[in-house]
Copies of this chain bind each other. A is one copy, B any other.
Amino acid sequence: MQRSIATVSLSGTLPEKLEAIAAAGFDGVEIFENDLLYYDGSPREVRQMCADLGIAITLFQPFRDFEGCRRDRLARNLERAERKFDLMQELGTDLVLVCSNASADCVGDERILLDDLGLLAEHAGRRGLRIGYEALAWGKHVNTWQQVWDLVRQVDHPSLGVLLDSFHTLSLKGDPSAIAEIPGDKIFFVQMADAPILAMDVLEWSRHFRCFPGQGEFDLAGFLGPIIKSGYTGPLSLEIFNDGFRAAPTRANAADGLRSLLYLEEKTRERLKQEAPAQPVEILFDTPPASEYDGIEFLEFAVDESLGAKLTHWLERLGFVKAGQHRSKSVSLLRQGDINLILNCEPYSFAHNFFEAHGPSLCATAIRVKDSAKALERAVAYKGQPYRGLVGPNELELAAVRAPDGSLIYLVDQSEGGLYDTDFNLQPGVSSSGGLLRIDHMAMALPADSLDSWVLFYKSLLDFEADDEVVLPDPYGLVKSRALRSRCSSIRLPLNISENRNTAISHALSSYRGSGVHHIAFDCADIFAEVRRAKEAGVPLLDIPLNYYDDLAARFDFDDEFLSELAYYNVLYDRDAQGGELFHVYTEPFEGRFFFEIIQRKNGYAGYGAANVAVRLAAMAKSRSGAVRQARL
């Protein structure tokens, strides 16, 4: 499809926007009137700029409050339209968006609406221009696509067609399925916007909270499907009013926009293949389907020699054993259960560069896939940046793609034998006596405005799902968390942001100088056994206030002995509505950077202990200020 985006969706001046749109790979652009008004070049110069950049001007928008206007204003309104037609001809676009009248004093009499739309179409047609008529969700009399199509059909003028915008239909819970019955050539233009489901005034919702497809909660494939069925072959365009986008880095955001359209096309293709197998879908983006996943193969930490030794000591106290040393590099392997941790302090390596930039940190995550070549092909089709590192002789080369923070995601074949044998001298017969079984999840701290971009990255390249956002109180502000999961739930990645400066998330971000994993949770079968072992080994556990346990006593029917055990070991507890139970305990942070969690899930508990995050954050704030006090002494 011809992929397009409205200038209003991006931050910056008109030239900045157009350059970013072209660089992202869009075919066309909707010129939002205000962007033109505020630009100090002529419409002809804008036309030339677009031509030079290789993008078409797909639409000029919006033209408001025309049909059904007060009769004494009609002539003046038509004059206003003619002025805008002049401008369109200078711009070199033939299509204008006319949105349904939302003014308080407009009339809804069908005869008048038909006359007015016919008159406007006639005037446009004389100049070879076309009118795309759109229902605003808050239009005074016309606010559904069905009304628009009904009027367009009756006017029956070649210069008047339907303009569809997913937001205006889905925000009102409208049914798009019968759009399939509109002749495709009477749909002049299609705008796509997603949004979180919010119980608020629809105009405010539309003006501030739209987002790219895949970042919100609308069923957009269910909206685009009927449009494809109608035979529509015109542009698919993004029109996103979003407060964050107005300030976001222009080029990165435009790139996200294009990725979101590809994602929407893939999801629509899948849907149509299921629901209407006879429907041709060549017009839609095609890429290999996402791999099946089987958890995390290994995590790689960027450290230097000294911190590597410290982290090794930390991990050994958590029950890990050193299982191998790289044949030629300063890289070691620690193991426990199904968990493989690689500590990389090799100079002149990717990890070393990452360490220089971010300090001790997680620099790579390897996920087990069914077919790494296909998985990489998919990632690249979604504009992911593949990575090829330095591979020594007799070393394994792994497919990899860069995550948005520059860390690596390795794609490792499940069937890959000898993954570690090739590169490492493995110590035979060494095995851990610890009971940590696998990586349950890794939590990341992100800059507040990058959450949507990360969600889209994982949804599109890896076909992960995103849980609903939860809001959690830190003593110094709010933290928002949205968990990503592989569809099999074997890989879980809660993403955390905070807009306030002094929260744990903001501290993690500033210590990382960027986004990064701030905690890693290990699953086990017997929380008390593991915590006892860790405590005895001297792992510093995060102290939980006794008042928390008094509250557990009030809320649950625990006996005192059990409560004492929870409190003694600083174990937190949660129970979900289905009786699923979570036991978990946190360590103090390693070098103030990341910490570990030991976790036991019972009876299918699927969350992350959100009920306990506030007490954890308060305890961490205290521990932080304690550390500051100690550092001062």
Contacts and interface: CB of A to CB of B under 8 A. Distances in A.
Contacts of A615: 37-38
A64 to B, nearest CB: 11
A305 to B, nearest CB: 37
A628 interface: no
Given A247-B476, A545-B39, A622-B40, A554 B83 contact: yes
A204 interface: yes
Interface in A49-102: 76, 79-80, 83-84, 87
A39 B200 contact: no
Most central of A198, A247, A553 by chain B CB within 10 Å: A247
A43 interface: yes
A402 interface: no
Contact of A43 (B39, B475, B547): B547
Given A199-B201, A475-B12, A477-B11, A39 B243 contact: no
A614 B34 contact: yes
A398 interface: no
Given A11-B477, A13-B621, A618-B13, A547 B36 contact: yes
Contacts of A42: 546-547
Contact of A38 (B39, B200, B619): B619
Nearest to A552: B37
A553 B246 contact: no
B622 A13 contact: yes
A500 interface: yes
Interface in A474-526: 475-478, 499-503
A588 B543 CA distance: 58
A561 interface: no
A473 interface: yes
Contacts of A200: 198-201
Given A199-B204, A500-B246, A475 B38 contact: yes
Nearest to A615: B38
Interface in A14-56: 33-34, 36-43
A467 interface: no
Given A43-B547, A550-B83, A246 B476 contact: yes
A282 interface: no
A559 interface: no
Contact of A545 (B38, B198, B243, B500): B38
Nearest to A201: B199
A109 interface: no
Interface in A418-436: none
A340 B80 CA distance: 45
A547 B37 contact: yes
Interface in A178-223: 198-201, 204
Interface residues of A, number: 54
Contacts of A36: 547
A501 B449 CA distance: 12
A109 B319 CA distance: 57
Contact of A477 (B247, B503, B545): B247
B553 A83 contact: yes
A501 B37 contact: no
A551 interface: yes
A548 interface: yes
A622 B548 CA distance: 55
Contacts of A204: 199
Nearest to A474: B246
A477 B499 CA distance: 16
A247 B500 contact: yes
A536 interface: no
Contact of A246 (B198, B243, B477, B551): B477
A543 B38 CA distance: 11
A555 interface: yes
A39 B247 contact: no
Interface string A517-549: 000000000000000000000000001011110
Contacts of A275: none
Nearest to A498: B247
A554 B477 CA distance: 48
Given A614-B34, A614-B38, A501 B545 contact: no
A560 interface: no
A435 B38 CA distance: 30
A51 to B, nearest CB: 19
Contacts of A500: 246-247
A499 B550 CA distance: 41
Contacts of A619: 38, 40
Contacts of A557: 76
A550 B555 CA distance: 68
Interface in A543-589: 543, 545-548, 550-551, 553-555, 557
Given A34-B614, A37-B547, A548-B37, A478 B622 contact: no
A503 B247 CA distance: 8
A199 B205 CA distance: 10
Contacts of A12: 475-476
Interface string A209-245: 0000000000000000000000000000000000100
A543 B246 contact: no
Given A34-B614, A39-B545, A247-B499, 19 more contacts: A11-B475, A12-B476, A13-B475, A13-B621, A33-B551, A36-B547, A37-B548, A38-B475, A38-B545, A39-B547, A40-B545, A41-B545, A42-B546, A199-B201, A200-B200, A246-B500, A247-B478, A247-B500, A247-B502
A-B pairs with lowest CB-CB distance, top 7: A247-B500, A38-B618, A247-B477, A199-B201, A83-B554, A200-B200, A40-B545
